[in-house]
Amino acid sequence: MPHTPTRTAVGIVGAGPAGLMLSHLLARAGIDSVVVDHRTRAEIEGTSRAGILEADSARLLTDTGVSDRVHREGRPHDGIELRFGGESHRVDFRALVGESVWLYPQTDVFIDLADARARDGGDVRFGVSDTQVVDLTGERPGILYSDADGVAREIRCDILVGADGSRGVCRSAVPEAERTHFFREYPYAWFGVLVEAPPSAPELVYTHSERGFALISQRTESVQRMYFQCDPDEDPALWPDDRIWAELQERVRGSDGFTLKEGPVTDRSVLRFRSFVCEPMRYGSMLLAGDAAHTVPPTGAKGLNLALADVRLLAEALEQALTKGDRGALDAYGPRALHRVWRAQHFSYWMTTMLHRAPGATDFDVRRQLGELAAVVDSTAGSTYLAEAYTGWSEGRRAGRSERRVQDAWQ
């Protein structure tokens, strides 16, 4: 016997940060939603991803009642080190723009959001399969899926949100003629490791070296996350612990004697990355949010933060549309979100190309990068640009001219 479809106001595909935060914000506005995800909660919790929250992202978690754990267990970072020519140069965010970022892993963001949805009676269905989205241009779009027991299920909603990440089904359900993809592939990837060792530095160290980029990042007092630039086809199995440490130590080596504190490598993987934007972010009754609509290289620590920034705007638009009948708010969502997305694309691209060594780079290319890095750290204007972008163009600061234009067009 077919099951009666579940009715809800907003059907959400994807229980990542975008999907769960959206469901939480909608519940606060009195709007029902159902979220489905094809991974189990344990699988999502076990995936190591982003680690840096902008100040506004941390505030979104605390001020909307998700959890204040970020302030109890996360660590504020008031700056980063840019390391080049074998020396470190600190960019002091607090002194330059009066903001910090928070070291708080995406896993913890996910746990906080999933716990908050469970606490508040939210309907989140993990471990589904065969997800399809249908009737996207109709009044009652739907999500079809099989539940954990293999039983076919259906959700019908007023608005459908694709928050299903960069490889989800929602974006590809939009006819090709109705979407434009903006795309940049990079000729390098990151070799990422989790290591059991004490921190080697109090803040993130972004390193430019003759051998390529490295990032020294932290997790806890006893677990650290580090990355080094590698070939996209690199095989992690060919990298025993000794080889990884030798490569990392070589990349950070310098006249100041900085060295990394070593320990067993517990996880290693190659992370390919690219810059990607899909426009528009709306098709009929479906809207896209987070990685489903755009991805950035991780160098600027923007992916997770963009996902949260999208759904903050999307929750406002859905509230306008569903409680005040203002469907125009749904049209305005994409342009408002894309304003930040493209600034973040530029920042992530800039950080990536300034710090990585492209295959075939000439001496001129490397010297030019060093000149660019010196221009950033030697100039208050240069450092301030980096600090503003890294901390996320905080809401607390005055909106810029181009941002005001987008907002005015919406109001």
Ligand X SMILES: Cc1cc2nc3c(=O)[nH]c(=O)nc-3n(C[C@H](O)[C@H](O)[C@H](O)COP(=O)(O)OP(=O)(O)OC[C@H]3O[C@@H](n4cnc5c(N)ncnc54)[C@H](O)[C@@H]3O)c2cc1C
Instruction: Point out which residues bind ligand X (CB under 6 A).
Output: 13-19, 36-39, 44, 49-51, 106, 131, 163-165, 168-169, 271, 290-291, 298, 301-304, 307
Least separation in angstroms between CB 351 and ligand X: 12
**395 — phi, psi (to 5°)?**
-55, -30
Least separation in angstroms between CB 207 and ligand X: 15
Q: What is the 3-state secondary structure (H, E, C) of 130-149?
A: EEEEECCCCCCCEEEEECCC
Q: Which CB atom, from 14 or from 212, has the smaller least distance to ligand X?
A: 14
Least separation in angstroms between CB 173 and ligand X: 10
Residues acting as catalytic residues: 77, 206, 298, 302, 390
Q: How many CA atoms lie less than 13 Å away from 293 in the CB half-sphere?
A: 33
Least separation in angstroms between CB 15 and ligand X: 5
Q: Which CB atom, from 14 or from 74, has the smaller least distance to ligand X?
A: 14
How buried is residue 173: exposed, middle or buried, by Cβ count under 10 Å (0-12/13-18/19+)? middle
DSSP 155-182: EEEEEEEE---TT-STGGGS-GGG-EEE
Q: What span, in angstroms and rounded, lies between the C-alpha atoms of 223 and 370?
A: 31
In this structure, how many other beta carbons lie within 10 angstroms of the beta carbon of residue 46? 10
Q: Which CB atom, from 253 or from 274, has the smaller least distance to ligand X?
A: 274
Helix (H) or strand (E) holding 377: helix 363-378
Least separation in angstroms between CB 260 and ligand X: 18
Q: Which CB atom, from 79 or from 392, has the smaller least distance to ligand X?
A: 392
| Torsion of Cα atoms, 45 then 43 then 144 then 122, to 10° | -30
DSSP 3-state of 8 = strand
Q: Which CB atom, from 235 or from 363, has the smaller least distance to ligand X?
A: 235
Residue with tokens 């493209």: 342
